[in-house]
A and B are shown apart, each in its own frame.
Chain A
Amino acid sequence: MKFAVLVFPGSNCDHDCYHALKHVLGISVDFVWHGDRDLTRYDVVILPGGFSYGDYLRAGAIARFSDVMKGLDQHIRKGGYALGICNGFQILTEAGHLPGALIQNRSTKFICEDSYIKAQTGDSFVTSKCGVDDILKIPIAHKEGCFVADEDTLDQLDRENRVVFRYCDQEGNVSELANPNGSARNIAGIISESRRVAGMMPHPERVCEEELGGSHGLTIFQSVMEVFN
């Protein structure tokens, strides 16, 4: 089992992901620069958070055309796994690997705070170690995190059990009040039709050690590891 963490100009959560995977979980992981095309050695590709290409034009819009994204297309076509976190989620939607789009938060503000999210299904490579309705405390840090899609797409995501996380309050109530950014149907993370590509706005890599404020992020990475056990 080998992980790649992609590095775009402006990625800034790449080292956090690398640290959580390598030093906390003991996983074999490499950084892969955006100019490389070869991802054939990897089982799981992580697209980390940050501001790739300065978020110019739209968040994720320019990164989508990096050479490494051609390698990612091939990786996904061959059945490889990919997880986009925050800016990585934005890149995956821009690239068409995930439906919908991430637009500016309803409040117009950059939000950096703990969020509570509820696993919606155990049938995904990011939630297999979560119980359905498990509540995870995982921080968000974004200005463009409001998930939007047309009603048909939202219905399809629900029908196909492809919403993996929804924002909720500390008690697990999924409500407007617990929706930090205005995302449609409180969506915090989704998975592709193939169930091998996932995107989420919260940052699990930031909460993998109690010393850093929590360890709920581990559940997500341990779910990914479970695929290979």
Chain B
Amino acid sequence: MIARITVTLKPGVLDTQGRAVHDALKTLDQATIDGVRIGKYIEVKLDETDIMKARTAVKEMCDKILANPVIEDYSIEMDSEG
């Protein structure tokens, strides 16, 4: 099973990378861009068949290590085919 985790900065926390990329995208002169936020994508492979157990374990990993709850939010997508 694979857990696909996305970590993003909380709304309101300054995202300097996102701002720099926003400025670069503006040079393309295409669609109007309202904002860019950059996050992290993490895959964790688990030797577990029970999806609920796996999700609980991954949630703990996010709360304790993978994300910093002071500045970051996360979302988890479990892929039992992975």
Q: Do A and B bind each other?
A: yes
**Residues B13 and A57 in contact, CB atoms below 8 Å apart:** no
Q: A57-B65, A57-B66, A65-B65 are in contact. Are A108 and B17 (CB under 8 A)?
A: yes
C-alpha spacing A181/B2, complex, angstroms: 38
B68 touches which one: A65, A94, A104, A146 (CB < 8 A)? Answer: A94
Question: What is the CB-to-nearest-CB distance from A201 to chain B, in angstroms, rounded to a whole number?
Answer: 16
User: Restricting to A135-193, which residues have a CB under 8 Å from any CB of B?
Assistant: 146, 148-149, 182
The number of A-B residue pairs with CB atoms under 8 Å apart is 37
CA distance A99 to B71 in the complex (A): 11
Contact call A58/B68, Cβ cutoff below 8 A: yes
> Interface SS of chain A: helix, strand, loop or mixed?
loop
Q: Which residues of A contact B19 (CB under 8 A)?
A: 108
Size class of the B contact interface (CB-based, 8 Å): 10 to 19
Write out, one digit per residue, whether chain B residues 3-40 have a CB within 8 A of any chain A CB (1) or not (0).
Answer: 00000010001101101100000000000000000001
Q: Which among A57, A93, A100, A105 is the interface contact of B16 at CB below 8 angstroms? A: A105
The interface size bin for chain A is 10 to 19
Q: Tell me how far the C-beta of B69 lies from the nearest C-beta in chain A, rounded to whole angstroms.
A: 9
A63 to B73, CA, bound (A): 21
Shortest CB distance B20–A (Å) = 6
Say if the beta carbon of B52 comes within 8 Å of chain A.
no
Q: Pick the contact of B14: A58, A94, A149, A182 (CB < 8 A).
A: A182
Query: What's the minimum C-beta distance from A52 to chain B, rounded to whole angstroms?
Result: 14
Contact with B along A89-120 (1 / 0, CB 8 A): 00001100001110111111000000000000
Say how far A8's CB is from chain B's closest CB, in angstroms: 16
Given A57-B65, A61-B65, CB of A93 within 8 Å of CB of B17: no
Q: Note all chain A residues with C-beta closer than 8 A to B20.
A: 108
* Known A107-B16, A108-B20; 9 more pairs at CB < 8 Å: A57-B65, A58-B68, A61-B68, A93-B70, A99-B70, A101-B70, A103-B71, A148-B70, A149-B70
Interchain residue pairs with CB less than 8 A apart (18):
A57-B66, A58-B68, A61-B68, A99-B70, A101-B68, A103-B13, A103-B14, A103-B71, A106-B14, A106-B16, A107-B16, A108-B17, A108-B19, A146-B14, A148-B14, A148-B70, A149-B70, A182-B14
A residues at B contact (CB < 8 Å):
57-58, 61, 65, 93-94, 99-101, 103-108, 146, 148-149, 182
Give the interface of B toward A (CB within 8 A). Answer: 9, 13-14, 16-17, 19-20, 40, 65-66, 68, 70-71
